[in-house]
């Protein structure tokens, strides 16, 4: 009996730990907020789209895939060493997978982009929604961490997300590197393979959570 109770306790602990880990890196998501405005004397920095990338990871029960998405453009408004405002445009046509090769790589990328006939709406449908955007609403320090908040728009749906990041100034170069965080893709209408949206998927579901890591470089204009 003691062994059975010990096993139950162990499974319960693992379950709680798993949930806690998920909550620790899940971006706080709320309704869209008012976009931050910079003071007239703030200095503009222009995003270096060649040096900046968003890394993504999606998973299902037996495997995962990861890759990158590029920024199309962006500006950051800075006062002293502090970010006051910023707007970024993400080029959804640049969705790239990094763990496959050949036809498997091409097929996955095309499915994610929605360029496969009959499957346009499964994921990001880049023909109808070629760009996503992120507009900063606030940058503050909470419990010793710099938190970046902003309105993320994907497929014409907008929610505010907050995630921790490291921001540094090196001469005329600003660098922002986020911690890895997750968003629930279904909140932006990306529902394919979601067991919270569709019934009877069994083990053929895809996690609602997408892992993201933002690496941003911007140069003083």
Residue ranges per domain, the chain?
Answer: 2-220
Q: What is residue 169's predicted lDDT score, i.e. its pLDDT?
A: 94
User: 55-91, pLDDT tens digit by residue?
Assistant: 999 999 989 999 999 999 999 999 998 999 999 999 9
> What is the spatial distance between Cα 210 and Cα 22, in angstroms, rounded to a whole number?
11
> What is the spatial distance between Cα 187 and Cα 196, in angstroms, rounded to a whole number?
11
User: 102-145, pLDDT tens digit by residue?
Assistant: 999 999 999 999 999 999 999 999 999 999 999 999 999 988 89
Q: What is residue 11's predicted lDDT score, i.e. its pLDDT?
A: 36
User: 158-189, pLDDT tens digit by residue?
Assistant: 999 999 999 999 999 999 999 999 999 999 99
Q: Which CATH architecture has domain 2-220?
A: Beta Barrel (2.40)
């Amino acid at each position: 009996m003691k062994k059975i109770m010990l096993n139950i306790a162990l499974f319960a602990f693992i379950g709680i730990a798993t949930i806690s880990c998920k909550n620790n890196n899940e971006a706080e998501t709320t309704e869209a907020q008012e976009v931050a405005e910079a003071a007239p004397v703030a200095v503009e920095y222009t995003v270096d789209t060649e040096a900046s990338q968003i890394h993504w990871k999606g998973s299902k029960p037996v495997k995962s895939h990861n890759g990158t998405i590029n920024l199309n453009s962006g500006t950051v408004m800075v006062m002293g060493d502090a970010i006051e405002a910023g707007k970024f445009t993400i080029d959804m046509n640049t969705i790239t997978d990094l763990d496959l090769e050949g036809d498997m790589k091409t097929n996955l990328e095309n499915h994610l982009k929605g360029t496969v006939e009959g499957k346009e709406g499964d994921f990001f449908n880049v023909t109808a929604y070629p760009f996503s955007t992120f507009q900063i609403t606030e940058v503050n320090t909470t419990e010793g961490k710099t938190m970046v908040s902003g309105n993320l728009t994907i497929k014409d749906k907008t929610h505010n997300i907050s995630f921790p990041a490291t921001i540094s100034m090196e001469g005329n170069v600003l660098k922002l590197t986020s911690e890895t965080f997750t968003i629930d893709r279904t909140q932006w209408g990306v529902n394919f393979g979601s067991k919270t949206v569709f019934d009877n998927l069994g083990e053929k579901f895809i996690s609602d959570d997408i892992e993201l890591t933002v690496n941003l470089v911007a140069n003083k204009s």
